[in-house]
Amino acid sequence: MTAQASTSVVELRQDGDVLLVSVNNPPVNALGAAVRQGLMAAMEQADASAAVKAVVIVGQGKAFIAGADIREFGKPPVQPFLPDVCNRIEACSTPVVAVIHGAALGGGLEIAMSAHYRLALPGAKLGLPEVSLGLVPGAGGTQRAPRLMGVKAATELMLSGQQIGAKAGLAAGLVDKLEEGSDPVAAGLAYARELLAQGAPLRPVSATPGRLADKAAAQAELDALRADTAKKSRGLFSPLKIIDCVQAALDLPFAEGLKFERAQFLACIDSPQRAGLIHAFFAERETAKIPEARAAQPRAFSKIAIIGGGTMGAGITVSALDAGLVVTMIERDAESIARGQANVEKVYNGLIAKGRMSEEAKAAILARYTPSTRYDDIADVDLVIEAVFEDLEVKKAVFKELDRVCKSGTVLATNTSYLDIDAIAAVTSRPQDVIGLHFFSPANIMKLLEIVVPAKVAPAVVTTAFELAKKMKKVPVRAGVCDGFIGNRILATYKQAADYLMEDGASPYEIDEAVRGFGFAMGPFQVTDLAGGDIGWATRKRRAATRDPKARYVEIADRICENGWFGQKTGRGFYLYPQGARIGQPDPEVLAIVDAERARKGVTPRPFTAEEIMRRYMAAMVNEGAKVVGEGIALRPLDVDVTFISGYGFPRHRGGPMKWADMQGLPKVLADIEAFAKEDALFWKPAPLLQKLVAEGKNFESLNK
Ligand code: 3HC
Ligand code: NAI
């Protein structure tokens, strides 16, 4: 047998009586049209040749197959379709073995489930993550996985989108055999020969009900999952469709079930949620592509210092320790450093209490941690992250100390939320080493890291910051210096729109409800109560002197703070939190304050629908987002999208504010802004970039390329 049917992405090699089918489509062997064609041709060749007694499918490089080629979704489909490829593999006249090393995800696992035997190597990652792209598995996964794993395990795998390892795959019935070692080809050939020696039969999963045989038990499991999913899916389209597909697996013959699955898959493909989620998937990978990457390699770092052990300093310390770094924390005095250490330990103790960490593991991590009150102890660190009080003078004093003690080349970062990083850099003799690393609270959990690039910073410092983000498993977004950078600057604007809505007639509770209805986890007034009303109050007082006297200013939040109502921590804010409750209740006294403020300003309140609330809220967000991109604070609209999805609870399935605007149509969004500008021309000044794009008939996506 020759290798004539080999294509550049699917290579065929006859090894004795085994046909080795090797997928070679870097970086992750996605199932693009050429791979699908190659696999079809491989099966034809296997069936046509008497010399082929078994087939082994492997993936080259780091993965088996990471799924369908996501870039093809939304474009006209090209034959052969993936379900047909899977069916063709299952129908092969000789036993087919899939050898899973690395990722076998989505369509990749569906290919494996269509093989007759599955062998997994250490490091295998099995999953059906379609739900996180707004899809259902669409190549037989919803029909084959329940037959192999049972309804509960299969449906949970599909609803969670999570990956399981080789051992869990074996226990779940997804994998037939584990093999140590790292060579999928050798392991696959050996397994195929073993099967041939045993006379192992063809085993098409579709041919028997498998673990669906006990129909009543399976139905009971699915009913429970449906009830739970209906409660939790919060307007998401695909989770309930997954349940429907599993129901079809229970009720219908395999071929009919497949047809049903295909129809659900196509409905998902057409859904705006799919467009939003896939935009989010690629956008999160694009944000690390920055101009500095071409210019400079990151500096090496292993030892770092964190200045300040408060809320943020402690969270960042945990993140750094979890990333394997050696950390020294610096605090003002013995009492503060003890509190800082306690803040760090509290995180690990929480994990121990939940059974997710052992005392030994905690001790091993803390062996890389040193507390100190002396700056001289951090002379040789490679990187410093300052997280002291949000006060320019305090920060400047810290940076002078860092400049004095740190070795040449140490990266000096500040976690400031709003302050001018150029001004901080200017107090040092090395502004080229100073950068902003804006973490979000809780810093050990939140994925977003704004990497704020001041005027004089060296490209290598920027790439080092991106490398740190990678080590810490954060989602990095490059931002320029301005008040609030990308996220907090846009937040301040749409928060203002919410305040105007409140003064004009919507209650804070109606606004929060509308925002939750859109898909955010919390509304803006709930967020204020959670963060502490005093924080925003302090910022408003600080800015009072520089505020444009012509700008509209709503004082309701100030009145609430004047009562000492700072939110959850004081038991009341915009909401009441009786006995430390975490979910607030509406407060009639707050509504009375709102009424009194409207009366004082001579505002006659009018009703707002949830739709109008969201039009204004989103218009404010998009308009400021366009200004941020237009001014070069964000590199691209997708950087704004990722900032909001990863740091501000923006519903991922809507793709971020800029993607949302594209999906609405930019002319519509601009028309809204222009209409609102008739009420308040200063606040609703349209972003020049938005006007330009509309005039040119373009969208934000055109700037993401
Ligand atoms: N299609 C197209 N491109 C893909 C891809 C896919 N399925 N999976 C990854 N890529 C691309 C990424 O965009 C990235 O491209 P870039 O270098 O140009 O930015 C590159 O491959 C490397 O990806 P990562 O940076 O994510 O690499 P990691 O090593 O960190 O992670 C991974 C690898 C775990 C495979 C991760 O990429 C991943 O989760 N991929 C998506 C898997 C998935 O969702 N599969 C299901 C697809 S839907 C489906 O199969 C439908 C079917 O049921 C019909
Ligand atoms: P915090 O008040 O909880 O902690 C600040 C810590 O800094 C205190 O423990 C204090 O003792 C210490 N400190 C003060 N001066 C010091 C000095 N000269 N040397 C060493 N330690 C010193 O404040 P938090 O919330 O942790 O904020 C820190 C920084 O992080 C601020 O710049 C803030 O704007 C920023 N930030 C805060 C977020 C939040 O949600 N809390 C989110 C993102 C950024």
Instruction: Give the separation between CA 147 and CA 143, rounded to whole angstroms.
Output: 7
Q: What would the mean pLDDT of 512-540 be, rounded to a whole number? A: 93
Residue 512: partners with Cβ closer than 8 Å, 6 or more residues away: 522, 523, 524, 525, 526
pLDDT at position 307 over 70: yes
How many other C-beta atoms are found inside a 10 Å radius of the C-beta of residue 618?
Answer: 22
Q: How far is the CA of 387 from the centre of ligand 2 (A)?
A: 5
Nearest 5°: the CA angle 345, 347, 353 is: 100
Residue 165 Cα distances to 28, 120, 518, 619, 656, angstroms: 17, 9, 35, 44, 32
Atom of ligand 2 nearest to the CA of 312: 26
pLDDT at position 2 over 70: no
pLDDT at position 3 over 60: no
**Tens of pLDDT, residues 319-354:** 999 999 999 999 999 999 999 999 999 999 999 999
Ligand 2 within 6 A of 313 CB? yes
Cis preceding-peptide flag for 80 (omega within 30 of 0):
yes
Ligand 2 within 6 A of 208 CB? no
Instruction: Give the separation between CA 487 and CA 506, rounded to whole angstroms.
Output: 25
| CB 147, CB 173: distance < 8 Å | no
- 3-state SS string for 69-94: CHHHCCCCCCCCCHHHHHHHHHCCCC
pLDDT confidence tier of residue 1, bands split at 50, 70 and 90: very low
| CB 409, CB 433: distance < 8 Å | yes
Ligand 2 within 6 A of 388 CB? yes
Residue (of 53, 41, 44, 67) closest to 14 by Cα position: 53
Q: Which residues line ligand 1 (CB under 6 A)?
A: 27-28, 30, 63, 66-71, 82, 103, 105-107, 110, 129-130, 133, 135, 137-139, 141, 282, 285
How many other C-beta atoms are found inside a 10 Å radius of the C-beta of residue 427?
Answer: 17
Long-range contacts of 265-271 (CB under 8 A, 24+ apart): 265/135, 265/136, 265/137, 265/138, 267/241, 268/134, 268/135, 268/136, 268/138, 268/237, 268/238, 268/241, 269/73, 269/74, 269/135, 271/134, 271/237, 271/238
pLDDT at position 4 over 60: no
Q: How much is the pLDDT for 482? A: 95
Residue (of 388, 418, 416, 387) closest to 490 by Cα position: 418
**Tens of pLDDT, residues 71-112:** 999 899 999 999 999 999 999 999 999 999 999 999 999 999
Q: How far is the CA of 66 from the centre of ligand 1 (A)?
A: 6
Considering only 266-270, 283-287, 536-540, 620-624, which range has the smallest mean pLDDT? Answer: 536-540
pLDDT confidence tier of residue 234, bands split at 50, 70 and 90: confident
Q: Which two tokens stand for residue 669?
A: 């969004």
Q: Which residue has the tokens 């209409």?
A: 675
Q: How far is the CA of 289 from the centre of ligand 2 (A)?
A: 30
Confidence (pTM): 0.95
**Tens of pLDDT, residues 176-193:** 999 998 899 999 999 999
Q: What would the mean pLDDT of 231-254 be, rounded to a whole number? A: 95
Residue ID of nearest Cα to ligand 2 atom 44: 417
Sign of the torsion angle spanned by Cα atoms 632, 638, 643, 644:
positive
pLDDT confidence tier of residue 5, bands split at 50, 70 and 90: low
Residue (of 560, 573, 459, 467) closest to 525 by Cα position: 573
Q: How much is the pLDDT for 143? A: 98
Q: What would the mean pLDDT of 7-27 be, rounded to a whole number? A: 96
How many other C-beta atoms are found inside a 10 Å radius of the C-beta of residue 593?
Answer: 20
Q: What ipTM describes this predicted complex?
A: 0.96
Instruction: Give the separation between CA 559 and CA 590, rounded to whole angstroms.
Output: 9
| Active site residue ranges | 110, 130
- 3-state SS string for 447-499: CEEEEEECCCCCHHHHHHHHHHHHHCCCEEEEEECCCCCCHHHHHHHHHHHHH
The preferred substitution site among 70, 100, 286, 287 for testing ligand 1, maximizing ligand atoms within 8 Å of CB, is 70
Q: What would the mean pLDDT of 615-620 be, rounded to a whole number? A: 98
Q: How much is the pLDDT for 612? A: 98
Instruction: Give the separation between CA 244 and CA 127, rounded to whole angstroms.
Output: 19
| CB 48, CB 82: distance < 8 Å | no
Q: How far is the CA of 398 from the centre of ligand 2 (A)?
A: 12
pLDDT at position 295 over 90: no
Q: How far is the CA of 439 from the centre of ligand 2 (A)?
A: 12
Q: What would the mean pLDDT of 192-201 be, rounded to a whole number? A: 96
Residue ID of nearest Cα to ligand 1 atom 53: 137
Long-range contacts of 437-442 (CB under 8 A, 24+ apart): 437/385, 437/413, 437/465, 437/468, 438/479, 438/485, 438/487, 439/312, 439/315, 439/316, 439/319, 439/387, 439/415, 439/474, 440/487, 440/647, 441/311, 441/312, 441/315, 441/531, 442/311, 442/315
Which ligand is closest to the CA of 336, given by its number? 2
Q: How far is the CA of 65 from the centre of ligand 1 (A)?
A: 9
Which ligand is closest to the CA of 158, given by its number? 1
Residue ID of nearest Cα to ligand 1 atom 47: 67
Mean pLDDT for the chain? 96
The preferred substitution site among 311, 403, 450 for testing ligand 2, maximizing ligand atoms within 8 Å of CB, is 311
Query: Residue 476 CA to chain centroid, in angstroms?
Result: 11
Q: How far apart are the first and last CA of the chain?
A: 45
Rg over alpha carbons for the chain, rounded to the nearest Å, is: 29
Phi/psi of residue 670, each to 5°?
-65, -40
Q: How much is the pLDDT for 543? A: 85
Phi/psi of residue 178, each to 5°?
-105, 150
How many other C-beta atoms are found inside a 10 Å radius of the C-beta of residue 676?
Answer: 20
How many other C-beta atoms are found inside a 10 Å radius of the C-beta of residue 291?
Answer: 11
**Tens of pLDDT, residues 564-582:** 999 999 999 999 999 888 8
To which H or E segment does residue 56 belong? strand 54-59
Coil, helix or strand at residue 19: strand
Q: How far is the CA of 157 from the centre of ligand 1 (A)?
A: 18
Which ligand is closest to the CA of 130, given by its number? 1
| CB 449, CB 476: distance < 8 Å | yes
Coil, helix or strand at residue 141: helix
Q: What would the mean pLDDT of 309-322 be, rounded to a whole number? A: 97
